[in-house]
Chain A
Amino acid sequence: MTHTIAQDRFPAAGQASVAAIPKPYWNPYAVGFLLGLVLLATYVVTGRGLGATGGYSAVAAQFAGLFSPEHAAANAVHAKYWNDGAPLASWTLFLLAGAFIGALASGLQGQRVCWSIEKGPQASAERRLALAFAGGFIAAYGAKIAKGCTSGQALTGGSILNVGSLVFMVAVFAAAYGLAWFVRKEWL
């Protein structure tokens, strides 16, 4: 490790009010092992793996239902999350709620919680936020087409050697490495 902890933790210097020195992240292999155990436990208990995008889809179905419950129940995509009018009682959404609390607890313990905008030193905050919105929109579309994201396809499907999941993982990294040069000013 040649870099300092502070660089790693608060890249957007000047926007973050640093109250305490953040503790370093854990060794990636150690966290990976722990994350693998969480994934294994999820499989062993529920018979399914982790997921994340489904939680967003459940919220979208809830919004659609506010305007028209009939439409939400009939739409080919919303219908899968409609859950007889209770889309928010979604397994994946509760998983995300738990993840929020778990991440907050970890962040507080490590003194890493603070208001900030993650970006490279060359990018403006406005540009970064616009790209964050665009990226979120694009990632959502990709996850819907691929029937899963980094959690539902890559981690969950990868660990059981699902062919489609492995293809997804290769495609994700290929596209991101291919585009990295074009958006380098957002990050470097």
Chain B
Amino acid sequence: MTTMLPLASSIEFSTVVNLALALALGLGFGFCLERAGFGSARKLTAVFYLYDMAVVKVMFTAIVTAMIGLFALSATGFLDLGELYLEPTNLAAQALGGVVFGAGFIVGGYCPGTSIAAIATGRKDAMVFALGMLVGVYAYAELTPGIEGWIKATAQGAMTLPSVTGVPMGWFVLAFVAFLAFAAWGMNRLETRFASLRPAS
């Protein structure tokens, strides 16, 4: 069996096809986000007050599902994991950026992807959040372009848990599935315990 996935490694997509694919995959992406309730800032931030853990449930299940799929396709020889793009790890940048991003998330109520689902369903605060984001990325480029060089110069390079630890991917997949099952039980308890925090109106 010869590996032929990802498709992009064996087929050269034209720009039009590439953008059409983006649009089609985006349809599924946006549909899922709205179905999950992620067009609502209160549903999203509820996770930080523990009375509704949907954000973690959806994200974690999505990650584990894709992880199982990637692992199964690669183990059966259909997919070459080495052909997948891997964002270089920069521990300092990702820790710092994560902290800043988390602050923006709880203050603003959305993240970049969910803001689109919220705008599509009429949330005016999401439109303002998106405007803030646009000004933010513009300011980053104009005022602090030097950060870009720092990130590149200090990056550790491509790093995955299997490559760093030497433990095969399958064990991590198993561990994530087990952890998801445990977390599902724990989140149910949290939601019961903090149910009184849910706003009345």
Interface residues of B (CB under 8 A from A): 5-9, 15, 18-37, 39-43, 45-46, 48-49, 53-54, 57-67, 69-70, 73, 79, 81, 83-91, 93-126, 128-142, 145-149, 151, 156, 159-162, 164, 169, 172, 184, 195, 197-201
Contact = CB atoms under 8 A, between A and B. Distances in A.
Given A77-B145, A187-B42, A64 B101 contact: no
Contact of B172 (A76, A103, A161): A161
Nearest to B8: A47
Nearest to A14: B201
Contacts of B26: 94-102
Nearest to B16: A89
A49 B70 CA distance: 12
Given A29-B61, A42-B25, A161-B161, A150 B112 contact: yes
A105 interface: yes
Given A106-B35, A135-B105, A114 B122 contact: yes
Interface in A110-166: 110, 112-121, 128-129, 131-166
A183 B121 contact: no
A29 to B, nearest CB: 5
Contact of B42 (A47, A118, A176): A118
* Range of interface residues on A (Cβ < 8 Å): 35 or more
B116 A144 contact: no
B77 to A, nearest CB: 14
Given A102-B27, A106-B31, A155 B198 contact: no
Given A159-B63, A161-B67, A164-B90, A120 B25 contact: no
Contacts of B159: 162-164
B6 A104 contact: no
B160 A162 contact: yes
Contacts of B65: 32-33, 35-37, 39-40
A175 to B, nearest CB: 3
A141 B104 contact: yes
Interface string A85-99: 000010110111111
B103 A157 contact: no
B116 A149 contact: no
Interface of A: 2-3, 7-9, 11, 13, 25-26, 28-29, 31-50, 52-53, 55-57, 59-61, 63-64, 75-78, 89, 91-92, 94-107, 110, 112-121, 128-129, 131-177, 179-180, 183-184, 186-188
Contact of B33 (A99, A113, A152, A186): A99
Given A96-B26, A121-B199, A139-B136, A38 B32 contact: yes
B39 A174 contact: no
The 5 closest A-B pairs by CB, nearest first: A135-B108, A98-B26, A36-B65, A136-B132, A146-B97
B198 to A, nearest CB: 6
22 contacts: A11-B199, A25-B37, A41-B25, A45-B21, A45-B25, A53-B112, A56-B130, A64-B138, A94-B23, A99-B27, A110-B35, A129-B128, A136-B133, A140-B104, A140-B137, A146-B94, A161-B67, A165-B87, A171-B99, A175-B101, A176-B105, A179-B102
